[in-house]
Chains A and B, each alone.
Chain A
Amino acid sequence: MAQTVDARQALPERELVPSPPVDLGAAVKWGLIAGMTAVFVSAIGMVQAFEVRSVVVGVDLGYLVLFGAALVFGYAAARPGEQLEGFLAPERGVRNVAAGLIAGLVGGAVLWLFVLLIGAVDIRSVFPSVSPQLRDLLTFGRGAGFAAAALIGGFGLVGALGGGIPVLPERIRAPLVNALAWVLAFGLFEDLFAQIFRGAKVPFLEDLLYQPGGGLSLVGALIVFVLFFAVYLSTASRRETVRSRIATMSPSERRRWVGVGLVVAIVILAVLPQILGNFLSEVFDLAGIFLMMALGLNIVVGYAGLLDLGYVAFFAVGAYTTAVLTSPGSPRWSPEMTFVAALPFIVLAAAMAGIMVGTPVLRMRGDYLAIVTLGFGEIARLLFLSDWLKPYFGGAQGILQIPPLELGPLTFRSSLDFFYPIYAFVLVFAYVSWALQNSRIGRGWMAMREDEPVAEVMGVDVVKAKLTAFVIGAILASFGGALFAHKIGSVFPHSFQILVSIVVLVIIIVGGIGSIPGVVVGALILVGAPELLREFAEFRYLIYGVLLIFMMLKKPEGFIPSRQRARELHQEEMMQDAWLRKEEEAAAAAGS
Chain B
Amino acid sequence: MLLPIRKRNKEDDVTRRHSTFWWAVLVVMALIAAACGGGGTTTTTQAPGGEMTTTTAAPGETTTTQPTAEFEPGPLGAVTVAPGEPIKIAALQAISGAVASLGEDQVRGIEIAIDDRGGELLGHPIELQVEDDGCSAEGGTTGAQRIVADPQVVGIIGTSCSGAGVPASQIMSEAGLVMISGSNTSPALTSDLAGNPGSAWQPGYFRTAHNDIIQGEAAAIFAYQELGLTRAATIHDGDPYTEGLANAFGRSFQELGGEVVLATAINKGDTDMRPVLTEVAAAGAEVIFFPIFQPEGDFIAQQAREIAGLEDVVLFGADGLLSDTYVVNEFTVGMYFSGPASPEGSAYDEFVAKYQEKYGEAPIQSFHAHAYDAANMLFAAIEQVAVVEDDGTVHIDRQALRDALYATEGFQGLTGTLTCDEFGDCADPRIDIVQRTEETPDIAAVRANVLFTYEPGA
Contacts and interface: CB of A to CB of B under 8 A. Distances in A.
Q: Do A and B bind each other?
A: yes
A489 B40 contact: no
B148 to A, nearest CB: 7
B307 interface: no
Contacts of A212: 47, 52, 84-85
Contacts of A531: 142, 146
Nearest to A544: B96
Contacts of B26: 230, 234
Given A125-B360, A227-B29, A278 B148 contact: yes
B149 A278 contact: yes
Interface stretch (B14-22, B368-376, B406-414, B415-423): B14-22
Interface in A157-197: 171, 191, 195
A236 B167 contact: no
B43 interface: yes
Interface stretch (B130-138, B381-389, B441-449): B130-138
Given A10-B9, A397-B244, A537-B95, A494 B135 contact: yes
B130 to A, nearest CB: 5
Given A7-B6, A490-B137, A538-B104, A223 B265 contact: no
A352 interface: no
Contact of B199 (A211, A229, A329): A329
Interface in B174-190: 186, 188
B25 A229 contact: yes
Interface stretch (A140-148, A279-287, A507-515, A518-526): A279-287
Given A7-B6, A85-B6, A494-B136, A282 B145 contact: yes
A461 interface: no
Contacts of A7: 5-8
A397 B1 contact: no
Contacts of A127: 360
A551 B6 CA distance: 29
A249 B33 CA distance: 39
B43 to A, nearest CB: 7
B40 A207 contact: yes
Interface in A82-129: 84-86, 124-125, 127-129
Interface in B115-137: 130-132, 135-137
A3 B5 contact: yes
Interface stretch (B235-243, B279-287, B319-327, B339-347): B235-243
B171 to A, nearest CB: 9
Contact of B131 (A489, A490, A534): A534
Contacts, number: 198
A41 interface: no
A127 B85 CA distance: 35
Contacts of A451: none
Contact of B137 (A203, A241, A492): A492
B380 interface: no
B36 A222 contact: yes
A385 B25 contact: no
A1 B6 contact: no
Tier of interface size on chain A: 35 or more
A283 B22 CA distance: 36
Contact of A219 (B43, B170, B188, B240): B43
Interface string B357-399: 0111100000000000000000000000000000000000000
A439 interface: no
A240 interface: yes
A398 B137 contact: yes
A312 interface: no
A537 B8 CA distance: 47
A247 B179 CA distance: 56
Interface string B226-238: 0000000000101
B20 to A, nearest CB: 11
Interface string A18-42: 0000000000000000000000000
B329 interface: no
A207 B243 contact: no
A387 B240 CA distance: 12
Contacts of A385: 238
A275 interface: no
B18 A233 contact: yes
A217 interface: yes
B4 interface: yes
Contact of A397 (B3, B135, B240): B240
B163 interface: yes
Interface of B: 1-11, 14-15, 17-19, 21-22, 25-26, 28-29, 32-33, 36, 39-40, 43-44, 47, 52, 64, 84-85, 95-96, 100, 104, 130-132, 135-138, 141-143, 145-146, 148-150, 161, 163, 166-167, 170, 186, 188, 199-200, 236, 238-240, 242-244, 263-265, 267, 358-361
4 interchain residue pairs of minimum CB distance: A128-B360, A279-B149, A7-B6, A396-B243
14 contacts: A4-B5, A10-B6, A11-B6, A12-B9, A131-B358, A207-B40, A223-B32, A230-B29, A233-B21, A397-B240, A397-B244, A398-B240, A494-B135, A538-B132
Interface of A: 1, 3-4, 6-8, 10-12, 84-86, 124-125, 127-131, 171, 191, 195, 203, 207-208, 211-212, 217, 219, 222-223, 226-227, 229-230, 233-234, 236-237, 240-241, 277-280, 282-283, 286, 329, 382, 385-387, 395-398, 400-401, 415, 484, 487-495, 497, 531, 534, 537-538, 540-541, 572, 576, 579
